[in-house]
A and B are shown apart, each in its own frame.
Chain A
């Protein structure tokens, strides 16, 4: 009984909404088209790897921090080696590496939010 009822209703619903459905489909398509360029240009601003799983993110964050320090150390060593600024290149660039590591993590974890110094949180850093 009730099954018949719902069937009848469904058909009664479907007949008038057929044109509506196609209109809705068209609306959706235009909406998607409107969204598409935005979505494609969106990830480019910051190299935040969109590793979707939190496990991937956890692995990313730790290595990102360490890699920045290593990069600073290598740059400092090269600077010392070729420019003869014996201790100072290493000292300054390893410290800079630490700063970069923290900055990388802030950026990847979305702490700084928008690109550049968006909020008061950012201004506290430097």
Chain B
């Protein structure tokens, strides 16, 4: 039992239904995809089924949906100052998706989908392509004004413009790496500390010490719940901030 410590094992993808091969790469419906579908199902339940009653005095589930909605609407309005809220569906979906997947990851034996870089990078790439495509559609070449910081003397622009460009390209990377690293590191830490409990119990006299990692595991679990919610919030906030650039590029 003690020999099987492998904190990475929990992130392995297990194909459930194989859909064939492309080259040597198997294309399969993995448990990751299953969790994503489950998350979409939960979100659909919260937002569609629970609010179907449209009661003036909301029930429990409807109140939950309204809290989420108003929270995101508020965040988005503060960041973009956009009265029409045209990005609300995107930001709301992203927030709910990340939040529910993060919380799914906290269920014991469940799989944390957001601990895979490709998932978070896919979401971040979606955000950045929205920024670029919408920005170019709306403002044309004026969108490039994003890379020219205001109030900078001309000779300094020679340095500032490349810095702004690298900064822009680093955005999807930081957005995705932040979420992925937090979830991955949190789950690995949880696994390792939980294994310490088992190992200490098997270690004869040292088993007196086993409550110590147990308390740490409990504390870490609480912290991980905080991180799960916080990272979803940070993801949504940063998305809103980046979308604000698409709406008002020249500043």
Q: Which residues of A contact B (CB under 8 A)?
A: 37, 39-41, 43-45, 47-51, 53, 55-56, 59-60, 63-64, 66-68, 70-72, 74-75, 93, 96-97, 99-101, 103-104, 115-117, 126
Contact = CB atoms under 8 A, between A and B. Distances in A.
Nearest to A99: B163
A50 B166 CA distance: 21
B233 interface: yes
Contact of B80 (A44, A50, A70): A44
Nearest to B158: A126
B199 interface: no
A53 B230 CA distance: 9
Nearest to B159: A126
State the main secondary structure of chain A at its contact with B: helix
A43 B78 contact: yes
Given A63-B178, A74-B169, A126-B156, A96 B163 contact: yes
A63 B183 CA distance: 14
Interface size class of B (residues with CB under 8 A): 35 or more
Contacts of B162: 96
A47 B182 CA distance: 22
A49 B80 CA distance: 12
B116 to A, nearest CB: 17
B212 interface: no
A47 B242 contact: yes
Contacts of A59: 178, 182, 230-231, 234
A62 B86 CA distance: 31
Shortest 6 CB-CB contacts between residues of A and residues of B: A40-B81, A67-B174, A116-B151, A71-B170, A67-B173, A63-B178
B151 A50 contact: no
Interface of B: 77-81, 149-153, 156, 159, 162-163, 166-167, 169-171, 173-174, 177-178, 181-182, 226, 230-231, 233-234, 237-238, 241-242, 244-245, 247-248, 251
Contacts of B167: 68, 71, 100, 103-104
A107 B163 CA distance: 12
A7 B173 CA distance: 63
B166 A68 contact: yes
Nearest to A103: B163
A44 B80 CA distance: 7
Nearest to B77: A40
Given A44-B251, A68-B167, 7 more contacts: A43-B81, A50-B79, A56-B233, A63-B181, A71-B170, A75-B166, A93-B166
Contacts of B149: 115-116
B230 A67 contact: no
A44 B81 contact: yes
- Residue among A39, A100, A101 with max Cβ neighbours from chain B (10 Å): A100
Contact of B166 (A39, A40, A66, A96): A96
Given A44-B248, A100-B166, A100-B167, A60 B152 contact: no
B241 A47 contact: yes
Contacts of B174: 60, 63-64, 66-68
8 contacts: A39-B78, A49-B234, A49-B238, A70-B173, A71-B170, A97-B166, A117-B151, A117-B156
Nearest to B164: A100
Given A45-B251, A50-B237, A51-B234, A116 B166 contact: no
Nearest to B239: A49
A67 B248 contact: no
